[in-house]
Structure 1
Amino acid sequence: MSFFSELFATTDAEKLRELGTRKILRRALTAKDLVAIGLGTMIGGGIFTTIGTGVKGAGPAVIVSYLLAGLTSFFAALCYAELGAMVPVAGSAYTYAYATMGKLFAWIIGFALIFEYGISAAPVAQQFSAAIQDVAKSSGVVLPGWAQQSNLIVHGVWWAPSSWDLAHSQYDIVAALFVIGLSVLLSVGIRESATANNVFVVLKISALIVFIIAGAFLVQAINLHDFNPVGWGKLHPFGGLADFSSSAQPYGIIPIGAFVFFSYIGFDTATTTAEECKNPQFDVPVGVIGALAIGTLIYCATAIVLVGAMPWNQVPIKNPLVAALAPLHFPALTWVITM
């Protein structure tokens, strides 16, 4: 076989299914666990960090943006569900590419997945650390210096004789300890890490449900009258989507739909555990579709309450959910949403 033929050589799906019968990994997960794993990856930094900018960019029609992003994800989820049931082997998109497109594409996708899951852990860990520090500050607790986020400053080097503040470079010990702790938990075993994930999922969904229920009492129909103030889309004059920054300008439903799609990343995580499912042909499709359906419902409900509770042009980009509940004057709610 030539070099180029080897690059595009595929592996028979039947052979991959035989690999799925190995007993190297403990089969301890059910469909409920896979739904929780998908939700645990989806619901997190995405909804809390994108919804404020989404409202600024599309107004109350951000609800439609979340629906469109969910619909787009649904078509991808159908592919993941079918392939996950056909080839119940650990590896997710890497394995599916190996079976259908060959080694080259599998290699590219495999490293893309490593970067996706590896790099995405950094902002999530930093957000966790920032939440810890915000709660500590609001409670009057002073954290030690090593537990605070700080810029990296280089002293006494030949290119910076006095000091040099490395812009956009920080060290965050709490975030690092958070990542290390979860890595240790994953290495202990799938059942233990799945149980911990279920606890985190319950806490995150509970916080959003608390917001939805409490915020429902603040919803006013007048805030939804001008439902689509921006329109369907506004692209950058030089091509592509405009920059979504802290000074976000109105962009429209479709560009904001592409932006809030970040909130849906992770619904496919369930497929990476195919070899650890008791019944992968059933568990994987239910896990993928179930996580996406529940996540979409929660996202849309959160968006409805947010734009209904306050005028869309007054929604802040940072901590919008906390700002929406401010009229209730209930500090405990702020603490729950922040955490």
Structure 2
Amino acid sequence: MTATTLEKTATTAATVEFRGLRREFGKAVALDGLDLTARPGELLALLGPSGCGKTTALRMLAGFEHPDSGEVLVDGEDVTRVPAHRRDAGMVFQSYSLFPHLSALDNVAFGLRMRKVPTTERQSRAAELLELVGLGDKGGNFPHQLSGGQQQRVALARALALRPRVLLLDEPLSALDAKVRLTLREEIRRLQQELGITTLFVTHDQEEALSMADRVAVMRAGRLEQCAAPAELYGRPATAFVAEFVGTMSRIPGRVTDGTAEVLGQRLPVDGEAPASPEVDVLVRPEALRVTAEDTSDARVVSSAFLGAATRVTVRLADGTEVKADLPTHEAAALGAGTAVTVSLPERPVLVADRL
């Protein structure tokens, strides 16, 4: 990739703001007062289960949907009612949406042609963008002659052709196989960082969100649960929903008194506010649990799953609760199914939630 290509493709990074967005479809509330800001040049992932409102929010930024109330701002300008073709936003869809009768080069150049950019200039820019996404030798191929990953690269180049202020990605990798998905998400991240373009990325895949994004906005039922950097989101979830949606989490019955949780025979400080009821579940990540062989214990190893350097061990506690612990594989090798073990937690604050 040359500096010239970057200069021709890069745009001024924009600030995007959602202010109090509300959208109803009949009795269903898709967005319920969403407030969220994407910073200039960052990749912000919108993550959540189906129906949480993440795609609706993205479509409102693109101009394909309009809120019942609230505002969408780009660099402080209210674009809530601005038509989609005047938004300066490039969008990549899950389904690629390439024109089957046009070559890869002409697909990339299509938006430029609609804007009456001279033929020589638009073909030159389209060729540079295909080079940018690693398809410089595929300009003459039609969509049916390209793999799924290659088609998605063409769609990405087409979105960048108009030099948008904002790039929008609507689950663009979900239709691809695992190996191609991994490669393409790395390529998208590399391009986004080199171009410095503000990007909003919708996904239901937590691994994609955590590996690609500068920050992740976790949504639930049309509302924002938490927006934070991946490490903070994983290590210090603001709510029980975020804790269980992002990564693996075990629930261990416990009891809270005077801001202290009693769990696994230990007393640990509570991280954040505790529920009103003293009977709680303590939420624990697999890597936080310590598992040690102990012949007199009533807890037993149920199974294990090899993950490489770590092995995930499932333990059934004396009360029947099953918990998952990630242990170094060389340690887990000594803990076969049926082994009596003790389970403990490090001496640090724990997150608690209402007991299920």
With the shorter chain as reference, the TM-score category is: under 0.3
Higher helix share: 1
Higher strand share: 2
Q: Give me the TM-score of the superposition, normalised by structure 2.
A: 0.24
Larger of the two Rg values belongs to structure: 2
